[in-house]
A = this chain, B = another copy of it.
Amino acid sequence: MARTTLQARDLWADIQTLRERRPLVHSITNVVVTNFNANVLLAAGASPVMTQAHEELEDMVAIAQALVINIGTLDAYAVEAMTIALRAANARGVPVALDPVGAGATAYRNRTLAALLAAGRPTAIRGNASEIMSLAGEAVATRGVDSSAGTEAALAPALALAANHGAVVCVSGAVDHVVAPDGRVLRLDNGHEWMTRITGVGCSLTALVGAFCAVQPDAWRATAAATALMGVAGEIAAEQARARGAGVGTMAALLVDALQLVDEAGFLARARIVDD
């Protein structure tokens, strides 16, 4: 029986490090999730900053410990901002997390992603199964920004994408897959279906991937820590919401609470790393 090389206690150590170091995370993200993403980063222990102004991107990247690029809402100005910031981050060795929101949904998104991946190298890419499959060149039916495929079907495309771009790839869904360019695979089985009913949870996971890459140099492990933390917090929030007869509106606030308050015992009791 295969043994995973990461244990839940490794991921917990990274969560503690994030809370202690409070890295500055610069996000260029979509207008739907700015507020929620910033609150997720603050709750988890990071310090968010968001700007697209071309005049200050290099200055901001220079003081940031991570960059997050999210293509949820695009225009020419934002695409150029992402390109400038990506290049600056690569030049300085600042880790970059990329969220290919809606990859496959329109030709424009596909072109933009191809141009970004030609301009620089993300450290980690986080998407749902449809997005990762599309980005890996698979023909996939998409439906706006929600996934139309399961994560298992995206595993092989994710491995190819990771190898081609030298980036960690996270496919999030009912079971999350975190794959490295060298072929390492980690499966995480946390979360709750209601997480798909709150806008920006996926985008916020990508933001957390950036934050963890700021404090953990192994991007595969950093991405796993972010994914486990979000999954565990989502479970806690869903349980708490349902226990009081509440729904996804209340759960969104409880998710932020759990990101801030989950402790070692609570995390270790829930984090489920699935052996192959």
A163-219 with Cβ < 8 A to chain B: 197-200
Q: Do the beta carbons of A255 and B249 come within 8 Å of each other?
A: yes
Contact of A107 (CB < 8 Å), options: B59, B72, B200, B255: B59
Q: Do the beta carbons of B50 and A197 come within 8 Å of each other?
A: no
Q: Do the beta carbons of A60 and B257 come within 8 Å of each other?
A: no
Interchain nearest-CB distance for A135 vs B (Å) = 16
Q: Do the beta carbons of B143 and A198 come within 8 Å of each other?
A: no
Whole-angstrom distance between the alpha carbons of A33 and B250 in the complex?
A: 18
Whole-angstrom distance between the alpha carbons of A249 and B234 in the complex?
A: 13
Q: Do the beta carbons of B38 and A35 come within 8 Å of each other?
A: no
A31-63 with Cβ < 8 A to chain B: 31-36, 38-39, 42-43, 47-56, 59-60, 63
A238 CB-CB contact with B under 8 Å: no
- Chain B residue with the shortest CB-CB distance to A261: B247
Contact of A39 (CB < 8 Å), options: B43, B246, B248: B248
Q: Do the beta carbons of A32 and B32 come within 8 Å of each other?
A: no
Contact of A43 (CB < 8 Å), options: B43, B74, B247, B253: B247
Q: Do the beta carbons of B53 and A73 come within 8 Å of each other?
A: yes
A65-104 with Cβ < 8 A to chain B: 72-75, 77, 102
- Chain B residue with the shortest CB-CB distance to A45: B197
Q: Do the beta carbons of B197 and A108 come within 8 Å of each other?
A: no
Q: Do the beta carbons of A146 and B260 come within 8 Å of each other?
A: no
Interchain nearest-CB distance for A10 vs B (Å) = 24
Write out, one digit per residue, whether chain A residues 153-165 have a CB within 8 A of any chain B CB (1) or not (0): 0000000000000
Q: Do the beta carbons of B34 and A108 come within 8 Å of each other?
A: no
Q: Do the beta carbons of A199 and B35 come within 8 Å of each other?
A: yes
A113 CB-CB contact with B under 8 Å: no
Q: Do the beta carbons of B106 and A56 come within 8 Å of each other?
A: yes
A119-147 with Cβ < 8 A to chain B: 142-146
Interchain nearest-CB distance for A192 vs B (Å) = 14
A252 CB-CB contact with B under 8 Å: yes
- Chain B residue with the shortest CB-CB distance to A24: B144
Question: Which residues of B sit under 8 angstroms from A248, Cβ to Cβ?
Answer: 39, 42-43, 256-257, 260
Whole-angstrom distance between the alpha carbons of A142 and B59 in the complex?
A: 12
- Chain B residue with the shortest CB-CB distance to A25: B144
A149 CB-CB contact with B under 8 Å: no
Supplied contacts A32-B50, A38-B200, A56-B109, 5 more A-B pairs, CB within 8 Å: A39-B252, A54-B75, A241-B257, A246-B257, A252-B253
